[in-house]
Amino acid sequence: MRIEEDLKLDYSDVLIRPKRSELTSRKEVQVIREIQFRNGDSWLGCPIVAANMDTVGTPEMGIELTKHNMITCLSKYVGENRRYDVHEKENNIAISFGMTQKDRDNLLGGMMGFTDFIMPYRFICLDVANGYTQKFVDYVKEVREEWPEKTIIAGNVATAEMTEALLLAGADIVKVGIGPGSVCTTRKITGVGYPQLSAVIECADAAHGIGGHIMADGGCQSPGDVAKAFCAGADFVMLGGMLAGHDECAGDIEHCIETGEDHMVFYGMSSDTAMNKHSGGVATYRASEGKTVRVPYRGPVKNTIQQILGGVRSCATYIGASSIKDMPKCATFVKVNRQLNTVFGNE
Residues that bind ligand 5GP (CB under 6 A): 51, 53, 129, 156, 177, 181-184, 186, 217-220, 238-242, 268-271, 289-290
Smallest gap from Cβ 133 to ligand 5GP, in A, equals 16
Q: 196 and 231 in contact (C-beta within 8 Å)?
A: no
Which one from 184, 203, 220, 231 is the annotated catalytic residue?
A: 184
Q: Is the Cβ of residue 157 or residue 165 nearer to ligand 5GP in the bound state?
A: 157
Rounded least distance, CB 40 to ligand 5GP, Å? 27
Minimum CB separation of residue 222 from ligand 5GP in Å reads: 11
Cβ closer to ligand 5GP: 157 or 319?
A: 157
- DSSP annotation of 40 reads S
Contacts of 100 (CB under 8 A, 6+ apart): none
Q: Which of 163, 186, 304, 317 is catalytic?
A: 186
Query: Nearest Cα to 221, choosing from 243, 204, 200?
Result: 243
Provide the angle, in degrees to the nearest 10, between the axes of the packed helices 196-209 and 223-231: 40
SS3 294: strand
Residue number with CB closer to ligand 5GP (176 or 201) = 176
Query: Whole-number minimum distance, CB 276 to ligand 5GP, in Å?
Result: 13
Minimum distance, C-beta of residue 209 to ligand 5GP, in the bound complex (Å) = 24
Q: At a CB cut-off of 8 Å and minimum separation 6, what does 243 contact?
A: 50, 51, 56, 61, 249, 301, 304
Longest distance between any two alpha carbons in the chain, whole Å: 59
Burial 182-202 (b: 16+ CB within 10 A, else e): bbbbbbeeeeebbbbbbbbbb
Question: Within 13 Å, how many C-alpha atoms sit on residue 128's CB side?
Answer: 18
220 is catalytic: no
Indicate the SS3 state at residue 272: helix
Strand segments (E) across the chain: 14-16, 33-36, 42-45, 48-50, 71-73, 93-97, 123-127, 151-157, 173-176, 213-217, 236-239, 253-255, 262-267, 292-296, 333-335
Residues 124, 316: Cα–Cα separation, whole Å: 30
Q: Is 186 a catalytic residue?
A: yes
Q: CB 243 → ligand 5GP: shortest distance, Å? A: 8
Judge whether 16 and 332 are in contact, CB under 8 Å: yes
The amino acid occupying position 255 is H
Distance of closest approach, residue 12 Cβ to ligand 5GP, in angstroms: 12
Closest CB to ligand 5GP among residues 15, 293: 293
For the chain, give the number of residues: 347
The catalytic site residues sit at 184, 186
